[in-house]
Amino acid sequence: MDIGIYPPHANVLAAVQLKKFKDTAKWLNDHTLFYKTKFRKADVDPTDIKSLDDIKKLPFTTKDELKALPNSEICWHPELTLRKHTSSGTTGMPTASCFIDVDLKVMGTLGARSLKLCGCEEGMTLQVNYGYGFFTGGLIFDEAARRLGMKILPQGAAPIDQCIAAMQRFQPEVWCCTPTYAKRVCYYIGDNGVDISWRIGSHGAEVWTNETRKLIEEGLGPDYKAYDVFGLCEKGGPFVGHECTAQDGTHIWTDVFYMEILDENGEDVSEGEIGELVLSHIYTGGYSTIRYRTGDKVKLVAENDCVCFASGYPRIQILGRKVKDEFKVGGTFLIRSDLENVAVNTTRKLHELFGAEVGEFRVELSSLEGTTDVRYCVELTDPDNEEQKSVVKSVVRDISRHMINRSFPVKVCPMDTYERSLGKTKLIVDKRNEETQ
């Protein structure tokens, strides 16, 4: 297919999208039992699509539907399959996906675009600390860097001291890993006084906030810039979109993925408004899906108009999970991402005050008479130190009241109460389902 490191100009984008969408929907209807059945049940025919507005006539595709497919139907081109991957499984059973040659070429090229977008150049060195394996992150970053002409340090999700040692030895300018991993490296550097060579960071695979960005950039020094990379296994892994150097929203590559942001009534939102992200492949790959409900709650930052070469490609801000994102506490509702922000800011403040004497911080959710009970949990090297416990609890309560106008009980735990992760970390420990089983 015709795709290059530099995307087509925005003034031809709508025509490109319509033709590609029609071709993809027709192919899926003609060649896959899943979509042929889905379209028939919805009493729609993909050949009736005459405009982009007609796309809303087609039914949604959901994660649960894809998980329910038998293994024999997971790939649309079983004879052409080169690799099979899964999602990380942080929200349940991992979702499977498969890649044929065109998928690898597309995602590699979109990755090269994305890295170029945040300042990477041919000849630079990229240190990869995403995992290699079923999770798509490391392998797709590898392919993207190769297509841009970069050198690669394919280290994977290594222990923090090994990551630092590799950086010091090989002096890479560019770094990619999850925000969680980057934060751990920041704490290590703060405790050990390490100079870094990294100047550009591509961080994703989990929802993160501007507070996390600030923590990472301050921890790694004034020359370091942290950029968001957005993707999902169901759409080929990373590089569905990426931030540019303006750091004002994530550009979505809409010449490859048709994007809808829909309100609760299924209508398009306007700039500045929030809705659920719905994505469609507009090419036929190993596991192309259309009108896929990502479950991500996003804000449309701008339809076009940016200082970078991707001007004309819409920018979004990923705010969190739409599904199960809100829950009732007492008589009011809380948003999960607000509690995650409390966790990020509290962790940073406690490390400033106590350094390595503080471990992990979590928010525990449990069931309480039809609503949700919330508790903050902090690991300390000496959980019996009453003076330190008093200060810690006071700090946690003050930050919580400042950020969400309320606080919750604080529990102090010994070190290693919570699992350490080299990838994604679940800041919120949800025990509600466990208690109902």
* Burial class of 402 by CB neighbour count within 10 A (0 to 12, 13 to 18, 19+): exposed
- pTM of the entire structure? 0.81
What is the pLDDT, as a whole number, of residue 424? 65
What is the pLDDT, as a whole number, of residue 92? 56
CA Rg value for the chain: 22
What is the pLDDT, as a whole number, of residue 3? 60
What is the pLDDT, as a whole number, of residue 342? 86
Query: Comparing C-alpha atoms, which of 168, 156, 227 is closest to residue 192?
Result: 168
What is the pLDDT, as a whole number, of residue 88? 62
What is the pLDDT, as a whole number, of residue 355? 80
CA-CA distance, 28 to 26, in Å (whole number)?
Answer: 5
**Which span out of 164-178, 354-368, 383-397 was modeled with the highest average pLDDT?**
164-178
Range in 18-22, 85-89, 101-105 the model is least confident about: 85-89
* Burial class of 426 by CB neighbour count within 10 A (0 to 12, 13 to 18, 19+): middle
Strand partners, 412: 378
Token pair of 9 as six digits: 């100009």
**Which span out of 59-68, 102-111, 166-175 was modeled with the highest average pLDDT?**
166-175
| pLDDT, the chain, mean | 88
Average pLDDT over residues 383-396: 91
pLDDT reading at 51 higher than 70: yes
